[in-house]
């Protein structure tokens, strides 16, 4: 669902992602529709906090437990959740998330299963959820059908790792029609021209990859990240989140000085590698997320 924000003005008004609403005249009343993701960013940032966005793989180790983990992530302070779609060749993912994808695929988890899971979650939770994966499963599902079914299930956003902004036109018209934000990745190697293109195509927020290479928790992060954030944000009219390699509250505190959100994946997925007790797993994940979320309170 997109939420209306009313106002008055003339000329034009910018929407998230750089789209423009033309206004008939200065005295006309206009309504700008904000996505659930944009509303969540606005609300959390207005409290003097940055957003914490955890990632988990759908179906790891099974769909039923994924649903319970989603609820625990929300209870523990997650602002938005990224839900991975299992894929057999996750080229941008490190060994931790690759293994999570393999565990899900061994249970025959499909894109349809992920959408059904999301629909069940929506009966109990309205937390913004971003589907994250690769284009191959979407292509075979059908781009238009996927956009319709994803919206019906309750998806708020989409990250397609291997579908860059200059190749997204086969999908974006359908996600735009359904009001699903498409979030693109910017990298340390992105040129000025590339950043401009990402800014023109993105909605919701932009995902800055903190390191070159694949995902995975790291003990240190490059000092150059802080300087790069100023350049990236100079091109963006929407928030910028940062992910890849973030694994400690200290990382979160450091990065929240420059970015609007932090995304943590591998450090959370590791809890699912060896489960001795479901209750202990949920408690351990919940406590870890609480620590990371506490570190986002910059004021």
Query: Does residue 48 share a domain with residue 28?
Result: no
| Domain range for 2 | 1-34
Q: Please list the rounded mean pLDDT of every run of 10 residues in the chain (299 residues).
A: 39 34 38 85 97 98 97 98 95 90 96 98 98 97 98 98 95 97 93 93 94 48 67 90 92 92 96 94 98 90
| pLDDT of the residue at 88 | 92
Residue whose C-alpha is closest to residue 155's, from 124, 184, 132: 132
So what's the pLDDT on residue 229?
79
Is the model's pTM score more than 0.95?
no
Residues 202 and 228 in one domain: yes
Q: How far is CA 283 from CA 28, 71, 112, 163, 260, in A?
A: 52, 12, 29, 36, 27
Q: What are the structure tokens assigned to 285, written together? A: 């994940």
Measure the CA–CA gap between 232 and 214, rounded to whole angstroms: 20
Q: Do residue 138 and residue 165 come from a single domain?
A: yes
Q: How far apart are CA 212 and CA 210, in angstroms?
A: 7
Shared domain check, 68 and 54: yes
In sequence order, which residues have a C-beta less than 8 Å from that of residue 89 and are 6 or more positions away?
134, 136
pLDDT at 138: 98
Is there a single domain that holds both residue 12 and residue 116? no
Count of domains for the chain:
2
pLDDT of residue 11: 33
d(CA 33, CA 192): 29
* pLDDT computed for residue 109 by the predictor: 97
Written as six digits, the tokens of 222 are: 């490059």
Residues 155 and 24 in one domain: no
Residues 137 and 211 in one domain: yes
Active-site residues, by number, are 82, 93
Are 20 and 163 within one domain? no
Residue 54's domain is classified under what CATH number? Answer: 3.20.20.70
Q: Is residue 299 part of a domain?
A: no
Q: Do residue 27 and residue 89 come from a single domain?
A: no
For residue 123, being part of any structural domain is answered with yes
How far is C-alpha 245 from the geometric centre of its chain's CA atoms?
Answer: 15
Q: Which two tokens stand for residue 29?
A: 């009343």
Q: Let me know if residue 210 belongs to a domain.
A: yes
Residues 228 and 273 reside in one and the same domain: yes
Residues 10 and 141 in one domain: no
Same domain, 30 and 161: no
């Amino acid at each position: 669902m997109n939420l209306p924000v009313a106002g008055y003005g003339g000329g034009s008004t910018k929407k998230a992602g750089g789209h423009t609403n033309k206004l008939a005249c200065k005295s006309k009343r206009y309504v700008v529709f904000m996505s659930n993701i944009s509303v969540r960013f606005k609300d959390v940032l207005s409290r003097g906090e940055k957003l914490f966005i955890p990632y988990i793989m759908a179906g790891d180790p099974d769909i039923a437990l994924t649903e319970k983990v989603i609820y625990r992530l929300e209870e523990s302070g997650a602002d938005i959740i990224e839900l991975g779609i299992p894929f057999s060749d996750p080229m941008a993912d490190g060994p931790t998330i690759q293994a999570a994808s393999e565990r899900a695929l061994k249970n025959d988890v499909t894109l349809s299963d992920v959408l059904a899971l999301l629909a069940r979650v929506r009966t109990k939770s309205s937390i913004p959820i971003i589907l994250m994966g690769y284009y191959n499963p979407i292509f075979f599902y059908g781009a238009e059908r996927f956009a319709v079914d994803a919206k019906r299930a309750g998806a708020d956003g989409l990250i397609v790792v291997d579908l860059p902004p200059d190749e997204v036109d086969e999908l974006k018209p359908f996600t735009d029609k359904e009001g699903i934000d498409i979030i693109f990745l910017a990298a340390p190697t992105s040129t000025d021209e590339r950043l401009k293109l990402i800014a023109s195509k993105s909605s919701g927020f932009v995902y800055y990859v903190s390191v070159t290479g694949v995902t995975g928790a790291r003990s240190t992060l490059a000092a150059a990240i802080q300087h790069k954030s100023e350049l990236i944000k100079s091109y963006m009219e929407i928030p910028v989140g940062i992910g890849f390699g973030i694994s400690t509250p200290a990382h979160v505190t450091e990065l929240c000085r420059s970015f609007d959100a932090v995304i943590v994946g591998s450090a959370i997925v590791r809890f699912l590698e060896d489960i001795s007790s479901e209750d202990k797993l949920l408690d351990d994940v919940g406590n870890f997320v609480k620590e990371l979320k506490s570190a986002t309170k910059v004021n």
